[in-house]
Structure 1
Amino acid sequence: MKWIFEKILVFIVVVNAFAGFAQQNNLEVDLSKSVAKIQPTMYGIFFEDINFAADGGLYAEMIKNRSFEFTVNPLMGWIQPNSNRHSLNTNSGIATIIKYANSSGNHNYCRVKINNDKGYELINEGFRGMGIKKDATYNFYISALNKSGSIKNIIVQLIDKNKNVLGETKVAATSPVWKDYTAQLTAIKTEANAQIKITFEGTGEIDLDMVSLFPVDTWKGRKNGLRKDIVQLLYDLKPGFLRFPGGCIVEGRTLARRYQWKKTVGPVENREVLVNRWNTEFAHKLTPDYYQSFGLGFFEYFQLSEDLGAEPLPILSCGMACQFNSGELAPMEELDPYVQDALDLIEFANGSTDTPWGKVRNDMGHPKPFNLKYIGVGNEQWGADYIERYKVFAKAIKAKYPDMIIVSGSGPSPDGDYFQYGWEELKKLHADIIDEHYYKDPKWFLDNAARYDSYDRNGPKVFAGEYAAHPRGVKDGPQENNWQAALSEAAFMTGLERNADLVVMTSYAPLMAHIDAFQWAPDLIWFNNIDSYGTVNYQVQKMYSTNKGTDLLLITKEGKPLTGQEGLYASAVKDINKRELIIKLVNTKSSAQSVSIDLKGRKVKSKGTKTLLTSDNLVDVNSFESPNKISPVSSGFKLRGKKAILNLEPNSFTILKLSI
């Protein structure tokens, strides 16, 4: 009898296990009913100069403090290894900072005195070093004035940590007046932490300014342009918009240190260097060498938007410094210059070449307007002071440019008194789009997939402008970009997509970070001086942005949207241009789930593709060593009659694509 009892127990266990595995989630999609149009701006990117994202990152300049403008120490980044300030009669030479008598943006230059032939060196350390690649060519630029006339040449060398020469060139800087010189170097070795060494032939005094080094191989081959590998990662996202230049960087710690777009256009040598607001923001991550050269300025942001096929979305100061710092306010009676900056920016972007600011754009090489449609007033300000200032901006902008779409803000949090107040007041003012920000743990993202289901459809549209899942108990840095965080974002984004009638713009934040100089994590893209990679969060964003479709469809289970029932999340769209049905499915359970999708309303071809993103471990990450460890895998898929039947893997994000 015992063996019969044991067999019955085994049979019961097997049957129950099979039943649990085979139990299907029956879903339904009606292809004939378009719920809403999905805006081309639905998935975009948000750039902020945090984590050395501009200088030392996207902007390909390799020399730090190229014009000797850092305010605390104008020679920061420059080293004089064999100069002895205490024995000027015997040292080989010395560099001294001199202020221009009449200067707008560029205030300082460097005077080098060479005393003898003992080998005076002036070395620039770069942005945590300089990444050079074997056989790659680099453009060297320098502005010089030879005061004594006895210095014959400037010798320029790329060196490694042991001072081995990796590339060399020479500049005959003999002019007694300021003159620009150029030369090229070709690297004989790949080195992530190179430096540049400048020595001199002869003795005497020579003045130097705008010392610069760029790779020849930049994005689109532009001189003094952007880092090619990083822009390629952005381009591959096919973003609908580019929001710039921030972020808190717009506001500044004080109003004097706010981002002023007019100081970032025109000749690059005249753009005034500014200390970055992330320079001293975090006591445990001080970066006193973090400044903004503005070589990547508003013209370059507009140009990048054009390159990416993305709508430009500039964000401007509303006369309020960061409320987490000084909270300094421009008095209402002194707000006009801030408002005029916004009006002038629209003219810079869209004005004809015979307008003052349209002419500036034309002189920079872009006679054609940038076709700006969106502008942001403030970043994440809150309270009555913000509303009072927003009213002034909105009135002036709409009066002159009635079709301009204004993005306003609801503060730094997705809930609370300030958030509610901002929404209520902006709704009364018939605001166009309200920007919401949320940095929360993965559970929050799973729990809030239905966040926008109950929003008022008669109010302003929503821009989910800054969001990222921050996993808890994880080491600070790239380890925060793990599969748990990305999976929760994938689930949450089904809710963004399902509410595409209301949510018209979304972007992960921050966009990128230098592995050796970051203040904030997680980030969508990580880079060092040589390489860059997209995190698994990047892969999630890319799967959405390259599969956004044109029309929202309903996908339901028992008549209800999937917002986490049984750990399942889903959204569905169709692309009327490509004649495709695209279904996104997220299984957040640690076990597989079977799904049967009944496709109604339109005929669908029986063969399609299934793209899967998953990993065995929730703490897995992509890395410099394994940049594609977690990346999408596509395979063929076939319908069973009129139904799509899938077995969703544990902790997985799946996209099913079928031709209509």
Structure 2
Amino acid sequence: MELGEKLIDVGGQMYEDISQHSGDGGLYAELLQNRAFQLVEPGTEDSLLAWDTIGSANISVVADDVPVSSALPNSMELVVLNDAFGAVGFANEGYWGIKVDEAATYNVSFYYRFPEASDFGGDVKIGLQSSSGDLLASTTVEISGAQTEWAQITTELTPSASASDVNNLFTVTLDGAAAAGLTIHFAMFSLFPPTFKERANGMRIDIAQALVDMGPAFFRLPGGNNLVSFCLTGLGLYEYLLWCEDGGMEPIMGVFAGYALQQETVAEDDLEPYIQEAIDQIHFAVSDADTSDAAALRASLGHPEPFAIRYIEIGNEDWISDVASETRQRLLITPDETVFIATSDVSGPVLDPIPTSYDVHDYQDPAWFQEQVFYYDDFERNGTTYFEGEYSCKYDRAGESWLYPSVLSAVAEAAFMTGLERNSDIVFAAAYAPVLNHVNATDWTPNLIAFDAGNVYLSTSYYVQQLFAFNSGDEYLPSTLPTFNGTLFWSVARNDSAVIIKVANMDAEDANMTFELPFNGVAESGTVTYITGNEADMNTPENPDLITPQTTTVQSSSSFGYTALGMSFAVLVVGIDSQ
């Protein structure tokens, strides 16, 4: 890479629901689990996940004769016993708890109808209560037995006190004596706390803020596996794109290419509807509402202007040629400025037309990242660019998956990232993956950010990503190259007022370095922000702040020494005169 090349957008995010509840129960702020009874078998115990009865009543999920919508064929049937008394109804436990904050107002909605008309008229009490039964918030709404068609109820809950933990319930109850013998159907519940930037149907504030605080340049949506397997989530394409705007991130948008990771492929003769759906998706996002029906739909939702999207990714890990190639050719009828990213192997098969960009995925161990710091150095400079779209040091030295990112895994990733920066002329973006994981629903480890119903836990890898994102510089500066397969790695960049040096030391011992800066007006001291620790140290829910960035100073000049601590990643920022 030559002096003055623009640096890679190394601090981006790749979203997917690989561990489940990264969206529902995670980034998406909705608090009720199984709120619409989707993808469940009516009448089974599993269909009532997260729900339980209150008082003298029975609940079950039924295939409704008159569903609330064609997309939501199931509803909850409440049968109040003939001899009922006291409060009767049901409760939802949320996603392993519900955080209740007295400073927040919670928006509530649901649909109801009576399968058979009755003369009932009375109040439904909606509340938030602790697991011990303490009432934290409540309100009442009136319902009528004459309502045999679906009607929506909307209201608000304002807690009188904050809960001491997340072991709380959302409750809906009636007076048992007044409702004895009645059957009522309920559907499409919602309990929404305040959201990031007050966006309707938006994002959970603490998770969204953690993602934004990382300084991401882009957000890959709707993610990897979300394209090729059904992920139950309230987030749709429109919400993802609004989130990118709210977070100041450039979208990298994926479209389904007819291939799933279970080795299932849509036959070429059957691809037409999938190709058209992909084209419509792109037009929804980027086209003029006056010339495209799909874009007109976007405008009707409240966003008349097109979203700013340069990159469209075709499929996810589509390690085949025919489907991905056919889809890509058809997509070339979309706007000319669109850059398409292929998800087939870089090494082949050869696609026609030849992709301008490839997405590369690497989940490996520390030794691999150490060896592959120079991975892109020998790639041909022929106009093809690369998106390191998914990577993490997934395994420890023994080949076992880390439960959470460790100091060693984060430093290994940092070493690899110095190589990505050095090859910014062909590697245009990179993203750690996966980003989010609910600690009560873990299918894949490690993840960048862990969370539960009440807290967010930032990892060692998060801090490495953050340090790269906020210290990218404007230009890459050539330097003496690290030793191939060594343990000490670095990259050097600059902006108008400073030289930025990133150093990853994968050895347990300190390493002495000397930097010579050919610039005028080098400051007498600089800042060093770093993480370090024992290689197996990690931030966990039990000890969330074991490893956090520390800041110190370093004496600097046109030639100065620096000691890279053992098992550490550091960013040195040294002021220079504007050049």
Query: Structure 1 length normalisation: TM-score?
Result: 0.80
Structure 1 residues 101, 197: closer, same or farther in 2, change over 3 A?
closer
Distance between the aligned counterparts of 1:436 and 1:158, measured in 2? Answer: 46
Deviation (angstroms), 1:565: 6.6
Q: Which residue of 2 aligns with 1:111?
A: 77
Distance between the aligned counterparts of 1:479 and 1:95, measured in 2? Answer: 37
Structure 1 residues 357, 521: closer, same or farther in 2, change over 3 A?
same
Matched, 1:573 2:573: no
Amino acid aligned to 1:183: T
Deviation (angstroms), 1:389: 2.2
8 Å Cα contact 2:410-2:460 kept in structure 1: yes
The SS at the match of 2:493 is strand
Which of 428, 435, 438 lines up with 1:514 in the alignment?
438
8 Å Cα contact 1:156-1:197 kept in structure 2: yes
Spell out, residue by residue over 1:242-262, the C-alpha distance to the aligned partner (whole angstroms, 9 max, x if none).
10122123112xxxx5xxxxx
Spell out, residue by residue over 1:457-480, the C-alpha distance to the aligned partner (whole angstroms, 9 max, x if none).
115211111111123378988744
Spell out, residue by residue over 1:182-239, the C-alpha distance to the aligned partner (whole angstroms, 9 max, x if none).
2222332232122222211321333322111111x21112233210000011101221
Please tell me whether Structure 1 or Structure 2 has the larger radius of gyration of its CA atoms: 1
Deviation (angstroms), 1:77: 2.1
Distance between the aligned counterparts of 2:485 and 2:433, measured in 1? Answer: 28
8 Å Cα contact 1:68-1:97 kept in structure 2: no
Distance between the aligned counterparts of 2:461 and 2:295, measured in 1? Answer: 39
Distance between the aligned counterparts of 2:378 and 2:295, measured in 1? Answer: 43
Q: Which residue of 2 aligns with 1:310?
A: 249
Question: Share of identical aligned residues, percent?
Answer: 31
1:544-559 correspondence to structure 2 within 5 Å: 544-556=468-480
Which of 351, 358, 362 lines up with 2:295 in the alignment?
358
Matched, 1:329 2:265: yes
Distance between the aligned counterparts of 1:581 and 1:209, measured in 2? Answer: 58
Matched, 1:77 2:1: no
Which of 89, 110, 113 lines up with 1:121 in the alignment?
89
Deviation (angstroms), 1:124: 1.6
Distance between the aligned counterparts of 1:134 and 1:590, measured in 2? Answer: 47
8 Å Cα contact 1:138-1:185 kept in structure 2: yes
8 Å Cα contact 1:35-1:551 kept in structure 2: yes
Q: Which residue of 1 aligns with 2:573?
A: 657
Distance between the aligned counterparts of 1:352 and 1:573, measured in 2? Answer: 39
Amino acid aligned to 1:567: T
Deviation (angstroms), 1:431: 1.0
Alignment RMSD: 2.4
8 Å Cα contact 1:151-1:200 kept in structure 2: no
Deviation (angstroms), 1:493: 0.8
1:194-593 correspondence to structure 2 within 5 Å: 194-201=168-175, 202-203=178-179, 204-215=182-193, 217-252=194-229, 257=230, 276=231, 292=232, 294-322=233-261, 325=262, 327-354=263-290, 355-383=292-320, 387-411=321-345, 420-422=347-349, 425-426=350-351, 429-472=353-396, 479-556=403-480, 561-563=481-483, 567-576=487-496, 579-593=497-511
Deviation (angstroms), 1:614: 1.1
Structure 2 unmatched runs, 5+: none
Distance between the aligned counterparts of 2:288 and 2:14, measured in 1? Answer: 28
Distance between the aligned counterparts of 2:89 and 2:132, measured in 1? Answer: 15
The SS at the match of 1:238 is coil
Which of 104, 108, 123 lines up with 1:140 in the alignment?
108
Distance between the aligned counterparts of 1:78 and 1:43, measured in 2? Answer: 36
Deviation (angstroms), 1:100: 4.8
Which of 97, 118, 138 lines up with 2:62 in the alignment?
97
Amino acid aligned to 1:399: I
Matched, 1:54 2:54: no
Amino acid aligned to 2:550: V
Distance between the aligned counterparts of 1:476 and 1:221, measured in 2? Answer: 41
Matched, 1:169 2:108: no
Deviation (angstroms), 1:566: 5.2
Structure 1 residues 121, 104: closer, same or farther in 2, change over 3 A?
closer
Spell out, residue by residue over 1:579-624, the C-alpha distance to the aligned partner (whole angstroms, 9 max, x if none).
3321111122222222111111554333332212212x11111123
Structure 1 residues 476, 170: closer, same or farther in 2, change over 3 A?
farther
Q: Which residue of 2 aligns with 1:622?
A: 539
Structure 1 residues 507, 96: closer, same or farther in 2, change over 3 A?
closer
Distance between the aligned counterparts of 2:389 and 2:487, measured in 1? Answer: 26
Q: Which residue of 2 aligns with 1:180?
A: 152
The SS at the match of 1:370 is coil
1:574-613 correspondence to structure 2 within 5 Å: 574-576=494-496, 579-600=497-518, 602-613=520-531
Deviation (angstroms), 1:78: 5.0
Structure 1 residues 54, 477: closer, same or farther in 2, change over 3 A?
farther
Spell out, residue by residue over 1:257-310, the C-alpha distance to the aligned partner (whole angstroms, 9 max, x if none).
5xxxxxxxxxxxxxxxxxx4xxxxxxxxxxxxxxx1x32111111111111221
Spell out, residue by residue over 1:118-157, the C-alpha distance to the aligned partner (whole angstroms, 9 max, x if none).
3433122222232323553322112223542414111122
Structure 1 unmatched runs, 5+: 1-29, 84-90, 258-275, 277-291, 412-418
Matched, 1:192 2:110: no
Higher helix share: 1
Q: Which residue of 1 aligns with 2:563?
A: 647
Deviation (angstroms), 1:491: 0.8
The SS at the match of 1:449 is helix
Deviation (angstroms), 1:435: 0.8
Distance between the aligned counterparts of 1:64 and 1:358, measured in 2? Answer: 32
Deviation (angstroms), 1:159: 2.8
Query: Structure 2 length normalisation: TM-score?
Result: 0.90
